[in-house]
Amino acid sequence: MKPTLLNESGAADYLGVGVHRVRSWRTRRTGPAYLKIGQAVRYDTRDLDAWLTEQRVEPEPPMRGGRVRQGRVRR
């Protein structure tokens, strides 16, 4: 099966974010893997799916005894 390659705009639509966000991730090297074909940047949908899976955060079960207070610690 031939991979599906998307440009920045297509990748942004696929991920549900703006093009500027995708560019920012790429320049900071924090986003999904990409391909450079000459001057063109392309995203393989398999890489986008893998990256999305890596972003999954499982919520932690609540602590015993109720809520945890956040904020300043009183001394």
pTM of the model: 0.75
| Helix residue ranges per DSSP H, the chain | 8-15, 19-28, 45-54
In a domain, residue 68? The reply is: no
Across residues 34-60, what is the average pLDDT? 96
In a domain, residue 75? The reply is: no
In a domain, residue 23? The reply is: yes
Going by DSSP bridges, is the β-strand pair 35-37/5-6 parallel, antiparallel, or unpaired? unpaired
In a domain, residue 34? The reply is: yes
Which tokens hold the place of 45? Answer: 């949908």
Q: Which of 15, 9, 7 is nearest to 31 (CA)?
A: 15
Query: Are 30 and 72 a contacting pair, CB within 8 Å?
Result: no
Q: Residue 33: which domain range?
A: 5-54
Is residue 39 over pLDDT 80?
A: yes
Is residue 38 over pLDDT 80?
A: yes
In a domain, residue 38? The reply is: yes
Across residues 30-45, what is the average pLDDT? 97
Total number of domains constituting the chain: 1
In a domain, residue 28? The reply is: yes
pLDDT tens sequence across 51-73: 999 999 999 888 776 665 666 76
DSSP 8-state class, residue 17 = S
Please tell me the predicted confidence (pLDDT) of residue 11. 98
